[in-house]
Chain A
């Protein structure tokens, strides 16, 4: 990475950057609405990506295109172009296409399913080229903008993983955008394994309820020793099963996640879970199966890394209080490829992943200012 020396002129401009962004607030809000009202369930992001590409073309970006897994890409060429900064935001949201995607704009908030996670992130991505151009900010580095697909749940970040595994561009640093919360500064990834355990009872052989089987399984999971030293935890996320109160359930499922500071601890818990599953499904009438839906690897940057320190500095100058916690699964694909990466939030919000999800309008420009501030700083502080 070059250019992390803090350019005094740029740092001096930063406190006033929020005010400079004021004329672009409506443009950002309009993009939030236009992005957010296009349904984009994981594996069904095509229409939303088409809109992103249309915006990239309107802004005159180079190589506006999709790749094999549907990621939407565009490049703002740098004046020197020796390095490439990657700015990404996942385009998928955890809502089915048939849900009502209507957004509302209130004086203090913008409301709609997926607005925080992550329509705002995508909107920031497609508004940024116009803002940079109108503020006269031209980077030396190429800036690669990417709305990534297949990130959530069973998508397991396939979009970003595919791109990082296959790109030939020399990506030096990556920033991932999430709608909320402002002050998020994630630069490490936990080791994790997310899975679904399905219990099935053959009704011809047994009238046992699959929920009883699941109950035994959950009790056994509670007995697995978890290392405190490595912050290993097993999260029981959701359960489902059965069809009616009148009959024993034929099927029951548990969705769970094991997470830890080390890949080895996750592997060990995984081994123990498999042992329990084998025991429970030993009879002919009961089968228990594990489907792994997501994995992340442990790693990332130390808190003293120049990229992390630069981000804290920018946040401080703009008046953003960094939040506790440095871990996000978003960082894992970058860890796997050895690319230094950060995940930033753009505003405050609530009810994330519920239909009444919203983000606050007022902090938005601070969120954008931190992003622009960091990009320029990473680039070396060039300003026309």
Chain B
């Protein structure tokens, strides 16, 4: 068996393995760890209330797994901030965290700033647009970190078939994963193809890893994490948990194109740094797509520059706040 096959066997979990929350809480207490939940938001007033209510009630009041529930908002223009606060979440505007670093719009920016703002030894990131939210989205990701010391980074995947007629069935990620990311990983980082849904937005990570990796502020953040953590710690640092079904907004193909473009930049930058490919600066930062207006095709050009935030540990203010030498 090769490395990724062994890993797939030993480091792939199903959330139902961790149903015993009392045991999980005891384990957390034994280890003396704190856990923070970060929900990055931008205009999520329809779904944020339910997420906060469920996590607060189930994973703070009933089973004290989470020490902190924080919403980090990138400037919502709807009532996201008010709704989240009304149901008891701590709400932060991304722009107010580390103001001297400036504000960049993007999910990755919120995740990066969460490292500075939140206190936990483990940070769980859960997207705000999940309409079938359930406590398993958190405990399923945290549990491998509590039970397995060597695991540093736990990814989610969603794999519940609605009907199963054959013994073998295809499994995997969404369109961008199967058309772009897995082919890229197959070429350059074959081990990482074992991660079933590399772009899933829910993951739990130890602080000592998060503070050491850079964060693309946009679409590339998940892919960058996988490559960077893999390069430093190997596949063994990862685990993945099946959280069953995730119901969320369906994205348009045009939006997926933008996402892919950001991811490509992230990957190529890393290939370049490792001496595996060409000079990035000679490439264009414009994505070209097409639309039809009154029977004429016209080109839409999106300028997508995948900026990156440095490892948090490089910031003097962070080292001071958390006493890191």
A residues at B contact (CB < 8 Å): 26-27, 29-31, 33-34, 37, 58, 102-107, 130
How many chain B residues sit at the interface, stated as a range, is 20 to 34
Indicate whether A37 sits within 8 Å of B61 (C-beta atoms), given known contacts A30-B53, A105-B49: no
A26 in complex: contacting residue of B46, B83, B88, B131, CB < 8 Å: B88
Question: When the two chains form their complex, are residues A30 and B49 in contact, meaning their CB atoms are under 8 A apart?
Answer: no
Query: Judging by beta carbons under 8 Å apart, are B56 and A107 in contact?
Result: no
CB nearest neighbor in B for A59: B62
From A27, A102, A106, A107, B57 is in contact (CB under 8 Å) with: A27
List B contacts of A31 (CB < 8 A): 57
Cβ-defined contact, B62 with A102, below 8 A: no
A102 touches B88 (CB 8 A): no
CA distance A37 to B247 in the complex (A): 13
Pick the residue among B61, B82, B87, B132 that contacts A105 (CB under 8 A): B87
Contact A104 B61 (CB under 8 A): no
Q: How many A-B residue pairs have CB under 8 A?
A: 46
Contact with A33, one of B54, B56, B88, B247 (Cβ below 8 angstroms): B54
* CB-based contact B131/A102 at 8 Å: yes
Task: For B132, give its contact among A27, A102, A107, A130 (CB under 8 Å).
Answer: A102
Given known pairs A33-B53, A34-B54, the reply for A104 and B131 (CB within 8 Å) is yes
- The complex places the Cα of A103 from the Cα of B54 at a distance, in Å, of 12
Bound together, the chains give a CA A104 to CA B132 distance in angstroms of 9
| Closest residue on chain B to residue A28 by CB atoms | B57
The answer to whether the Cβ of B193 comes within 8 Å of any Cβ in the partner chain is no
- The answer to whether the Cβ of B29 comes within 8 Å of any Cβ in the partner chain is no
Contacts of A29 in B (CB 8 A): 53, 57
Which residues of B are in contact with A by a Cβ distance under 8 Å? 46-47, 49-50, 53-54, 56-58, 61-62, 79, 82-83, 86-88, 131-132, 134, 247
Nearest-neighbor residue (CB-CB) of B21 within chain A: A58
Known: A26-B53, A104-B131, A130-B62. 15 other contacts (CB 8 A): A27-B57, A29-B53, A30-B53, A30-B56, A30-B57, A30-B58, A31-B57, A33-B50, A33-B53, A34-B54, A102-B131, A104-B47, A105-B50, A107-B79, A107-B83
Complex CA–CA separation, A106 to B45 (angstroms): 8
Do B131 and A107 touch across chains, with their CB atoms under 8 A apart?
no
Note all chain A residues with C-beta closer than 8 A to B79: 107
Q: Are B131 and A27 in contact, with the CB atoms below 8 A?
A: no
Q: Are B83 and A106 in contact (CB under 8 A)?
A: yes
- A26-B87, A26-B88, A30-B54 as given contacts; A106 in contact with B61, CB under 8 Å: no
B177: shortest Cβ distance to chain A, in Å? Answer: 24
- Asked whether A106 lies within 8 Å of B247 as measured between CB atoms, the reply is no
Can you report 9 residue pairs joining A to B where beta carbons are below 8 Å apart?
A26-B56, A29-B53, A30-B53, A104-B46, A104-B47, A104-B131, A105-B50, A107-B79, A107-B83
Q: Which residues of A contact B47 (CB under 8 A)?
A: 104
Chain A residues within 8 Å of B82, by CB: 107
Distance in angstroms from A126 CB to nearest chain B CB is 11
Smallest Cβ-Cβ distance to A32: which chain B residue: B53
**Chain A proximity of B143: nearest CB distance (Å):** 18
Chain B residues whose CB sits within 8 angstroms of the CB of A34 once the complex forms? 54, 58, 134
Please tell me if the beta carbons of A102 and B247 are within 8 angstroms of each other in the complex: yes
Contact with B50, one of A27, A58, A104, A130 (Cβ below 8 angstroms): A104
- A27/B49 contact (C-beta < 8 A), A33-B54, A102-B247 known: no
A26 to B87, CA, bound (A): 7
User: Nearest Cβ in chain B — how far from A381, in angstroms?
Assistant: 28
A103 CB to closest chain B CB (Å) equals 7
**Are the CB atoms of B247 and A105 closer together than 8 Å?**
no
- Chain B residues whose CB sits within 8 angstroms of the CB of A37 once the complex forms: 132
Tell me if B88 and A104 are in contact (CB < 8 A): no
Residue of A nearest to B88 (CB): A26
A56 to chain B: closest CB distance in Å? 14
Q: Is the CB of B57 within 8 A of A103?
A: no
B272 to chain A, nearest CB (A): 44
Inter-subunit contact B46/A27 (CB<8 Å): no
- Enumerate the 8 nearest inter-chain pairs by beta-carbon distance, A residue then B residue, closest first: A30-B57, A105-B49, A105-B50, A26-B57, A27-B57, A29-B53, A102-B131, A30-B54
**Nearest CB in chain A to that of B48: its residue:** A105
Cβ-closest chain B residue relative to A102: B131
Question: Which of chain A's residues has its CB closest to B47's CB?
Answer: A104
